[in-house]
Amino acid sequence: MAVLDLKRKLAILSDAAKYDASCASSGSVKRDSMGGKGVGSTDGMGICHAYAPDGRCISLLKILLTNFCVYDCAYCVNRVSSNTPRARFTPEEVVDLTLGFYKRNYIEGLFLSSGIIRNADYTMEQLVRVAKLLREVHDFRGYIHLKVIPEASPALVNEAGLYADRLSINIELPKDESLAAFAPEKDLGDIKKAMGAVRVGVDAAKEPARKARPPKFAPAGQSTQMIVGADGASDGEILKRSETLYGAYRLRRVYYSAFSPIPDSTARLPLQRPPLVREHRLYQADWLMRFYGFERAEIIGEGEDLDLTVDPKLAWALRNRGDFPVDLNSADRERLLRVPGLGVRACDRILDLRGHKRIVLEDVKRLSRGLAKLKPFIVTDDWRPGGLTDAADLKARLAPPPKQLELF
């Protein structure tokens, strides 16, 4: 077997990591190297880019420890039967790369996953070793996100949480039967058990201690990822699984990754990836559940798909026109959040502005990006939509016009 240099390994293993979408760094504990101690910081901007809720761009070294894998998941390019170039880092090489990139101001942290080598425990030991070396030997204070191998022992999962800011365990597919069909070596029970162990660790670290403060455990919580379009799951089924995961395991985030066809795959998988707008609509619907007070059943039925022509909030408003128009001068925050075109910040600014003056259309124009979308659903001191709210062609007016795709 040819010996690969570090540059070639990095090319292979960073490319192999691109299929994992769950690499955001929001919610981490603030660390820095003030006082001349430690290396790295979780603040500021810094070769993967993720975005925190406040809009900051987070640069992460996103790699696999190895793309060798003993599993044969049909949807995975790194499956054991795949004819793909293979490479493997040692833990020390990952540590050196992380520190080197950080000191050159290329990254702010590390996202590390891996194929399964030998067995789950051995792989998890290697991942934990990287984080342990960074934290204990090099006093690295940047962000670390580790992928948990669900079949690994609880002791290793617990150790990972002591060194990583965030842990993620991929649920992979939205339907139980799909996971059994496409990834027979993976067990849904093991995945849920690992998620439960992480939740227990996160909750325990937040409990007030009687004597000593408990050690920090994955302070940025845990996340997961679902592949969209590999099986026949509807958007309603996908969001129902997300709703369950948020409730049962208090996940910080569910990521939706559009299935990407891979070479030499089984005929049971689709030949084309789903439209990217479907992934986008799922994220929008997920956002409504997490930040806007919507229940999944309000957004979509279990066997239904999201409307790809308009965003889920507008689609809901068009189905529930009896709830509109909303008077911006008297409605509570919950009702304001249901207005298409009004985000969380805009609603909070409207509530604040109402303490000083009556809201007029010009105020709304300054606080939102799309006044045309808002006008059929709101009342201000100088505006009433009249029959516009119930217009038969309202969806056609508000849907974005067809656009010719560019070839170059």
Residue 75 included in any domain: yes
The CB-side HSE value for 141 (13 A sphere, CA atoms) comes to: 15
Tokens of 344: 């969380």
Q: End of a domain among 223, 252, 272?
A: 223
Which secondary structure element, helix H or strand E, spans residue 37, and what is its range? none
Whole-angstrom distance, CA of residue 168 vs CA of residue 171: 9
Domain match, 39 and 166 both: yes
Classify residue 207 as exposed, middle or buried by CB count within 10 Å of its CB (0-12, 13-18, 19+).
Answer: exposed
Residue 145 included in any domain: yes
Backbone angles phi, psi at 304, to 5 degrees: -105, 165
Find the CATH number of the domain harbouring 161. 3.20.20
How far are the Cα atoms of 46, 111, 149, 343 from residue 59, in angstroms, in the given order? Answer: 6, 10, 24, 26
Residue 322 included in any domain: yes
Residues of the domain holding 132: 6-223
Question: What letter would DSSP give residue 136?
Answer: I
Residue 107 included in any domain: yes
Domain match, 317 and 208 both: no
Residue 263 included in any domain: no
Question: What letter would DSSP give residue 80?
Answer: T
Domain match, 89 and 202 both: yes
Q: End of a domain among 195, 223, 251?
A: 223
Domain match, 325 and 217 both: no
> In whole angstroms, how large is the CA radius of gyration of the chain?
24
Domain match, 215 and 82 both: yes
Contact 279, 267 (CB under 8 A): no
Classify residue 166 as exposed, middle or buried by CB count within 10 Å of its CB (0-12, 13-18, 19+).
Answer: buried
Determine the pLDDT at residue 253: 92
CA angle 160, 89, 140 (to 5 degrees): 45
CA angle 26, 30, 36 (to 5 degrees): 140
What is the pLDDT tens value at each position of the chain, 408 positions in all? 456 788 899 989 988 888 776 655 444 444 444 444 444 444 332 256 655 444 556 688 999 999 999 998 888 888 888 888 999 999 999 999 999 999 998 888 999 999 999 999 999 999 999 999 999 999 998 899 999 999 999 999 999 999 999 999 999 999 999 999 999 889 999 999 999 999 999 998 887 765 666 678 999 999 999 999 988 899 999 999 999 999 999 999 999 998 888 776 677 787 788 898 999 999 999 999 999 999 999 999 999 999 999 999 999 999 999 999 999 999 999 999 999 999 999 999 999 999 999 999 999 999 988 898 999 999 999 999 999 999 999 999 998 776 655 544
Contact 25, 143 (CB under 8 A): yes
Domain match, 199 and 55 both: yes
Whole-angstrom distance, CA of residue 405 vs CA of residue 408: 9
Residue 243 included in any domain: no
Residue 284 included in any domain: no
Domain match, 206 and 317 both: no
Q: End of a domain among 192, 223, 254?
A: 223
Determine the pLDDT at residue 45: 27
| 383-386 own/partner pairs: CB under 8 Å, 24+ apart | 384/325, 385/325
Backbone angles phi, psi at 264, to 5 degrees: 55, 35
Domain match, 165 and 48 both: yes
Backbone angles phi, psi at 143, to 5 degrees: -80, 135
Domain match, 148 and 45 both: yes
Domain count of the chain? 2
Domain match, 189 and 332 both: no
Residue 390 included in any domain: yes
Alpha-carbon dihedral angle through residues 222, 225, 226, 228, given to the nearest 10 degrees: 140
Domain match, 64 and 190 both: yes
Domain match, 116 and 218 both: yes
Whole-angstrom distance, CA of residue 84 vs CA of residue 155: 33
* Tally of helices (H runs) and strands (E runs) in the chain: 15, 9
Alpha-carbon dihedral angle through residues 383, 386, 388, 390, given to the nearest 10 degrees: 140
How far are the Cα atoms of 47, 103, 138, 158, 262 from residue 130, in angstroms, in the given order? Answer: 18, 17, 11, 15, 30
Classify residue 197 as exposed, middle or buried by CB count within 10 Å of its CB (0-12, 13-18, 19+).
Answer: buried
Question: What three-state secondary structure class fits 182?
Answer: helix
Determine the pLDDT at residue 338: 97
